[in-house]
Structure formats: structure tokens, C-alpha cells
Structure 1
Amino acid sequence: MSGNSRSKRTIIVDGVPLPDVLDETMIRGVVHGFYEEIRRDELLGPIFRQRIQADKWPQHLAKMCDFWSATLLRTARYEGRPLQPHLAIAGLGEAHFRRWLKLFRATVRRICP
């Protein structure tokens, strides 16, 4: 039976199964590391600074940890519709999304085994 439960939890990203060591600590490290990069980024940083006040970052990071925990570990900690707020950002386009993906992938490669 353990083989069955493992196969149900296996998530493939870019053709690679997520590691067995994936846990809340790793998710937190990725989320916090990623958003550190975002905040410093010349293209994405200004957009995030306009949308999230400095004192609201802890809540945003907690919400993003909940999102990724629900998505990757199936914890059901996140409730919401993550796409809607992003669609409302004027001027957000493909270049921004590509940069977001590049930074996210680089952060995952740096932090995850």
C-alpha cells in the first residue's frame, strides 16, 4: 500500500518528481528566498512594491507558504483564487511572467536538493 500512497503524492515538475524530502521547511525556504529575489529584481520589484506595503510582507509570505503547501503537500491550508489578483494588475505581461518563472526556477535549484 505504501507504493500506492507515494504514487498519489508524486508531483512532476519539468519532468522531475518532487523530492521525498519536500516538507514545510523546504517550502518556507523556497517562498522566502524567492520573494527576496523578487523584491530586488529590477523588473518585478517595483510591481510588488506598489502592490504590497512593507508591513504586509509577512502576511503575503505566509499566504504563499499556505498556497505551496496546499499545492505540493495537499494540506488544504490555502483557500482562494490566486489568478484573480494577478489579472487585475495593469501592465503585467509575458515578460513579467517569464522573469517570475526564471527567478522561481533558480530559487528552487538553489535551495532544493
Structure 2
Amino acid sequence: MDLSTSQKFTLGYAALVGVGGVMGYLKRGSLMSLGSGGVSSALLYYVYTELPNNPAFASSLGLGVSATLLGSMGYRFQKTKKVFPAGVVALLSLGMTGGYLHGIMRSHH
């Protein structure tokens, strides 16, 4: 199967978010990290599977997930000033939010 660049980035993003949730649980015992990382990762994996067939819908869902992560992790970074993990996830989420916006605009042409 030949993956698009959007799919590759989405799959990598899903993996990082999922691993981050597990790390948050293992390091701090945070069920919130585990739950939100797991749900976000599962939604992003769904986006990955839907991108070839329904790019507007998949990009819209990806936009929602990445914007939510951008908001929550951006707020956490602003509050704690810790680059890792909050700053890194916020920065990645900013990039993915832009990518999904681009995908939505491109699918409407």
C-alpha cells in the first residue's frame, strides 16, 4: 500500500500521542494521560484510515483532535514552562492543525 504524506504524518502523530499517554501513566500514574492519549491516538488512527477515501471528513476530525491537543498542551506548557512533553506536543499539534486545515481547503477545490 502506498501511503500519502498526510497519512504518514497522521500515523506518526497518532503513535507519538499514544506513546505519550502511556508514558504519562507509567511515570506519574496519570489515568488522564492514558485515557486522553489513547482516545486521541485511536481517533487519529481512524483519520489515517479515512484520509484516502474521505479526505474532507478525515481532515476535519484530525483538525478537531489536533486543535484540542494544541489547546490543552499549549496551556500546560504556558503554565509549567516544561518543553517536554507539553511544549513538544503543542508544537507538533500546531503543525498538524495547519496540515489538516490545508487538507480541508484542498479537498474543497
Do both share a fold (TM > 0.5)? no
TM (norm. structure 2) is 0.35
Larger radius of gyration: 1
Structure with greater helix percent:
2
Higher relative contact order (CA 8 A, sep 6+): 1
TM (norm. structure 1) is 0.35
